[in-house]
Amino acid sequence: EVRFGSDRNAEFAPVLAKMCERIETLPDRILMYAEDGEKLLEQITALELHPTTSLVRRSSLEDVFLRLTGRTLIE
């Protein structure tokens, strides 16, 4: 997850999309999916793109379930 600011996320999304397996551009943040999140963040900063905040986390079982089924556990 990276944040460049609500007014700039859409500007950076096309560049970032080329760097990861999947991307979701939300109004307040960009979610990027990759095998190695730390390496991806290093690549982003190497391009001198400096997000205001960033977060690297591993997928949870719920994330995997949502990706495979498109449904939440409660539905």
Domain extent for 41: 2-69
Question: Is residue 60 domain-resident?
Answer: yes
In a domain, 65, yes or no: yes
Mean pLDDT value of segment 38-66: 90
Evaluate whether residue 75 is within a structural domain. Answer: no
Tally of structural domains, the chain? 1
- Do the domain assignments include residue 63? yes
In a domain? residue 74:
no
Q: In this predicted model, what pLDDT tens digit does every residue of 12-44 receive, in sequence order? A: 999 999 999 889 999 899 999 998 999 999 999
Closest C-alpha to 2, from 40, 35, 36? 40
How does residue 68 score in pLDDT terms, banded at 50, 70 and 90?
confident
Distance CA 35, CA 6 (A): 26
Q: How far apart are CA 75 and CA 66, in angstroms?
A: 11
Residue 52 maps to a domain: yes
**Above 70 in pLDDT, residue 53?**
yes
What is the average per-residue pLDDT within 56-71?
A: 80
